[in-house]
Copies of this chain bind each other. A is one copy, B any other.
Amino acid sequence: MQISSSKPLLSSNTQEKVLTGDRATGPLHLGHYVGSLKQRVELQHRFDQTILVADMQGLTDNGHNPQKVASNILNVVADYLAIGIDPSKTTICLQSAIPALAELTMYYANLVSIARLERNPTVKSEINSKDFGRAIPAGFLTYPISQAADITAFRATLIPVGDDQLPMLEQTNEIVRKLNSIAQDEVLLECKPLLSNVSRLPSVDGKGKMSKSMGNTIMLGSSAQDISKAVKAMYTDPLHLNVNDAGRVEGNVFFTYLDAFHPDIEYVAKLKSHYQKGGLGDGKTKAILEECLQELLAPIRERRALLLSDKAQLVSILKVGTEQAREESDAVLRRVKAAFGLNLF
C-alpha cells in the first residue's frame, strides 16, 4: 500500500505561509500521522511550509528532565522524513537553535497579562491534565507567548490546528494587533487556522488521547509485533460477544481506525454494515485492520530505521532548515526592534 494522498484541502496559494510543529518529547505516532503529518505532506506542495521541532516548548513541562526532549529531536526529524516530508519543499528547523524566538517571546511577554494567560482555555485544560498542582512552571503558563513568537517569526499566516487550539491563535493575533498598534505599522501578520477535517484519533484502548506514556498508541516506528499486539488489544464493542450478534460501530475504536487508514471507503462501509447486522467477527475485522496498518507502517518503519542509522545526515538536514529559519526570524526580530527604537546596532 502506498501512503495515500488525499485531495488538496485548499487550492494552491503561495502567498500563505504554513507553520506546524511538534513537541520533541517522544517519537510520533499514528495520532500525529492522521491528525497532522499526512496533511503536511500534502501542504508542502501548495504552500511555503515550515515545521518546527519544538524542543523549547517540550521543556516547558520537562524542565527537570531535558534529556527526554534532547533524545527525541532526531526521532521526530526521522519521523517527518519517513512519512514523506521533503526537506527541499519544507523547512524543518529546531526551536532551541533560533535565538530570535526567545527574544521575540521576551518582547511579547510585556504585552500579555498573567490574568489573560490564566484565562486561556487550552492552557487551562492542559494544566488540569497535568500534575503541576500549585507549581505550574512559569515557562508553561507563558508558552502561548512563545508560540506567538514562533508563528510571527516565520510570518506564518495559516496554522493547521484542531479546534482545541483556536484560543492559542486568538492569543497570537491579540499580540500581533497590540504590537502593530504600538509600532503604528503592520510589523507582524495575523494568522488564521486551517482546521483539520479529521477528528482526533482515539487511543487504542478507547479511553482518550493517544499517549506513548500510557502505552495505548501505535508509534510510526512500531515493530510488526507491536502493531499486531495493539490491534488485538483494540477496544471494539464489548457487547459483541458472538460472531452472529449485531455489533455497534459508533465508539468502536476499531472502525474509527479503519475509517482513518483503510484506502477503500466503500469496502469499509460494507464491513460496517455487515458488523451491524451480525455475522462479522472481531477476529476477521481485526485481521483486515492489522493488514492495512502493517502495509502503511512497514515502509515508514524501514525508512525511519535507515534514516536513524545516519544521524549525521539528519543533523545536517535539520541544520540547513534551521539556518533558513534563523534568517527569516532574525529579519522579523529586526523589524520589531526597529519599531520599538531598539536598533542602535
Contact = CB atoms under 8 A, between A and B. Distances in A.
B105 A341 contact: no
A203 interface: no
Interface string A170-199: 000000001000100000000000000000
A138 interface: yes
Contacts of A341: 66-67, 69-71
A101 to B, nearest CB: 8
Contact of A111 (B64, B99, B315): B64
Interface stretch (A139-147, A216-224, A243-251, A257-265): A139-147
B114 A136 contact: yes
A115 B102 contact: no
Interface string A308-345: 00000001001100100000000000000101111011
Given A69-B340, A69-B341, A102-B103, 6 more contacts: A56-B106, A63-B107, A109-B139, A112-B138, A113-B135, A138-B145
Interface of A: 55-56, 59-64, 66-67, 69-71, 73-74, 94, 96-97, 99-100, 102-103, 105-107, 109-117, 132, 134-142, 145-146, 178, 182, 315, 318-319, 322, 337, 339-342, 344-345
